[in-house]
């Protein structure tokens, strides 16, 4: 097959809405896609024990029975469609098999450690190859089914492209969190942060065709995709949103730590007035970061790590707030008991989180 997605990322064809024997081309699936299954109610592919059985003549042809909607089929086109279905199944198994034998599309999220996107894209393109030839033989109604299969291959191929980008973003996110915990944030603005943004923005641009140019009715011809299509679209969107929040949260956390590193030593050196401003900024930025990390959906596979970071930010926010209050007491010459009460509150805040208590600056509070 000379056309399809083999010619580059995001290549879509046009001219497929008015189907005739002479104008079937799969140079992508263009701007005006309308591949509804129409009146075809009983789709022909059953998923059983990892295999699909396609019997177009008995289910869509003249022997389809009184409850079916008979359509005219061509034996050669049916043979090619069956070949494509086997390859689609192989593509699907390669996609979900990277998580486990019992997995489905929803189990493949940004948190998986490895993902062979190039292989999945190649398999999807190979699954599309027989379909172009099938259109040379297929009657008009059968071509509608072929177009549905084409959409399945495009969905799996482009989903792999999105997954590749979001997994790269996830790797950078994990690296950035390590840098935060080590309080080694100086290069984040030039390393992890721009990479996270680059990958989630590319993922977002690839996500839009999945949502806007794929017909849910069409991909329902392949049950493992059709059954979770809407949920999968929601999951990918949630991942993109999460990385946008992570990008903001990491930046806020890095800024907070820089201020915290100035405010805490100043406080314990009894430079209370000098400590006020950085501690106040740190408190605000830690709170912002906690909010950014705190709203991640479970379907993304990143909720546990995000909640961990949010808890650390919450502990550091509490410590900064309490030390700021203690510094205010000294500067404004308030009663000494309030100073000691605020300082103990800072100690409790740090002790409340094991990761925070091991961080260099925060550990000074509990020495």
190 and 257 belong to one structural domain: no
Nearest C-alpha neighbor of 107 from the set 170, 163, 157, 148: 163
Q: Are residues 220 and 265 in the same domain?
A: no
Q: Quick one: 179 and 69 in the same domain?
A: yes
Range of the domain at 27: 4-206+216-227
Within a domain: 234? no
pLDDT tens digits for the chain (367 residues)? Answer: 333 333 333 333 332 333 333 333 343 333 333 333 333 333 343 333 233 334 444 444 444 444 456 778 899 999 999 999 999 999 999 999 978 878 999 999 998 888 899 999 999 999 999 999 999 999 988 999 999 999 999 999 999 999 999 999 999 999 999 999 999 998 999 999 999 999 999 999 999 999 999 999 999 999 999 999 999 999 999 999 999 999 999 999 999 999 999 999 999 999 999 999 999 999 999 999 999 999 899 999 999 999 999 999 999 999 999 999 999 999 998 888 999 999 999 999 999 999 999 999 999 998 7
- Asked if 84 and 127 sit in the same domain, the reply is yes
Beta carbons of 93 and 107 less than 8 angstroms apart: no
Position 114 scores a pLDDT of 84
Total number of domains constituting the chain: 2
Quick check: is 232 in a domain? no
Query: Given 227, 261, 282, which residue is the final one in a domain?
Result: 227
* Residue 233 forms part of a structural domain: no
- Give the pLDDT score at 8: 34
Q: Give yes or no: residues 180 and 265 share one domain.
A: no
Ramachandran area for residue 50 (φ above 0: left; ψ -120 to 50: alpha; else beta): left
Partnered with residue 54 across adjacent β-strands are 45
Question: How does strand 51-54 pair with strand 45-48?
Answer: antiparallel
Within a domain: residue 178? yes
pLDDT tens digits along 170-204:
999 999 999 999 999 989 999 999 999 999 999 99
Assess if residue 78 is contained within a domain: yes
* Residue partners of 309: CB distance under 8 A and separation at least 6: 177, 180, 249, 253, 289, 293
The predicted structure's pLDDT at residue 68: 55
pTM of the model: 0.80
CA-CA distance, 109 to 65, in Å (whole number)?
42
Task: Say if residue 15 is in the same domain as residue 92.
Answer: yes
Kindly state whether residues 155 and 299 are assigned to the same domain: no
Q: Are residues 222 and 304 in the same domain?
A: no
- Residue 171, token pair as written in the block: 């790797």
Judged by DSSP in three states, 20 sits in coil
Same domain, 176 and 268: no
């Amino acid at each position: 097959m000379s056309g399809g997605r083999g010619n580059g990322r995001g290549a879509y064809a046009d001219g497929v809405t008015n189907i005739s024997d002479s104008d079937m081309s799969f140079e992508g699936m263009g701007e005006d896609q309308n591949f509804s299954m129409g009146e075809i109610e009983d789709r022909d592919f059953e998923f059983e024990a990892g295999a699909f059985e396609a019997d177009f003549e008995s289910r869509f042809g003249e022997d389809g029975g009184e409850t079916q909607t008979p359509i005219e089929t061509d034996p050669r086109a049916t043979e090619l469609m069956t070949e494509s279905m086997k390859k689609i199944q192989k593509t699907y198994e390669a996609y979900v098999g990277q998580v486990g034998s019992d997995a489905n599309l929803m189990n493949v999220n940004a948190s998986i450690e490895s993902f062979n996107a190039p292989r999945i894209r190649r398999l999807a393109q190979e699954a599309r190859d027989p379909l172009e030839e099938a259109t040379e033989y297929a009657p008009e109604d059968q071509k509608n089914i072929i177009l549905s299969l084409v959409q399945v291959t495009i969905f799996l191929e482009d989903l792999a492209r999105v997954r590749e980008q979001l997994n790269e973003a996830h790797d950078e996110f994990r690296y950035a969190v390590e840098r935060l915990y080590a309080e080694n944030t100086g290069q984040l603005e030039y390393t992890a942060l721009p990479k996270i943004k680059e990958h989630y923005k590319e993922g977002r641009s690839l996500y839009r065709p999945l949502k806007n140019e794929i017909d849910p009715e069409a991909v329902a011809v392949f049950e493992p995709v059709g059954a979770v299509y809407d949920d999968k679209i929601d999951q990918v969107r949630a991942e993109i949103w999460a990385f946008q929040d992570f990008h903001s949260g990491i930046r806020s956390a890095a800024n907070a730590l820089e201020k915290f590193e100035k405010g805490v030593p100043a406080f314990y050196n009894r430079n209370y007035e000098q400590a006020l401003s950085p501690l106040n900024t740190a408190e605000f930025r830690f709170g912002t970061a906690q909010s950014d990390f705190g709203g991640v959906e479970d379907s993304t596979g990143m909720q546990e790590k995000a909640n961990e970071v949010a808890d650390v930010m919450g502990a550091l926010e509490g410590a900064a707030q309490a030390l700021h209050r203690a510094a205010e007491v000294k500067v404004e010459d308030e009663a000494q008991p309030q100073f000691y009460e605020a300082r103990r509150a800072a100690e409790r805040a740090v002790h409340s989180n094991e990761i925070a208590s091991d961080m260099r600056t925060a550990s000074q509070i509990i020495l």
